[in-house]
């Protein structure tokens, strides 16, 4: 099975401190619903500048877990939203972010021994 996430960078930053890795992961898990809710709200309110900033912040978080494809998509959203271009694509990217993060969360929890493999 292909791995969606890659924890090597995070583990390197943590210098092998498993508790720190777990803490960062749990912070990420808590942030995801906020990122999604904020992005959806900014989109609904046509606050594209705020949407761009939220996408940028979320991008930094997903990179810690090796989700480079998702980071690329968030960068795309950020750049489009900064210019208010191709607004019809924003919802699709936000949805992809939410779905990918849900799958990544499950995978990270298994990798860190926070839950049993399915």
Quick: pLDDT tens for 64-92: 999 999 999 999 999 999 999 999 999 99
Which DSSP letter does residue 49 get?
Answer: H
Structure tokens belonging to residue 68? 């480079």
Domain assignment present for 117 = no
Number of domains in the chain: 1
Is residue 95's pLDDT more than 90?
Answer: yes
Categorize the per-residue pLDDT at 116 as very low, low, confident or very high, splitting at 50, 70 and 90.
low
Segment 13-27, tens digit of pLDDT: 999 899 999 999 999
Structural domain includes residue 3: no
Assigned domain for 118 exists: no
Does residue 116 lie in a domain region? no
- 12 close to 69: Cβ distance less than 8 angstroms: no
CA dihedral 28, 70, 59, 11 (to 10 degrees): 50
pLDDT score recorded for residue 2? 83
* Residue 86, in any domain of the structure: yes
pLDDT score at 118: 54
Task: Give the range of the structural domain holding residue 93, as residue numbers without chain letter.
Answer: 8-111
């Amino acid at each position: 099975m292909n791995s969606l996430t890659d924890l090597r960078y995070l583990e390197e930053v943590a210098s092998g401190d498993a508790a720190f890795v777990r803490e960062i992961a749990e912070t990420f898990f808590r942030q995801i619903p906020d990122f999604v809710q904020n992005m959806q709200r900014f989109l609904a309110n046509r606050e594209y500048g705020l949407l761009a900033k939220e996408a940028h912040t979320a991008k930094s978080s997903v990179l810690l877990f090796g989700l480079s494809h998702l980071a690329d998509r968030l960068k795309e959203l950020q750049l489009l939203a900064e210019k208010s271009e191709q607004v019809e694509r924003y919802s699709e990217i936000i949805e992809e972010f939410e779905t990918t993060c849900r799958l990544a969360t499950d995978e990270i929890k298994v990798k860190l021994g926070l839950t049993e493999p399915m």
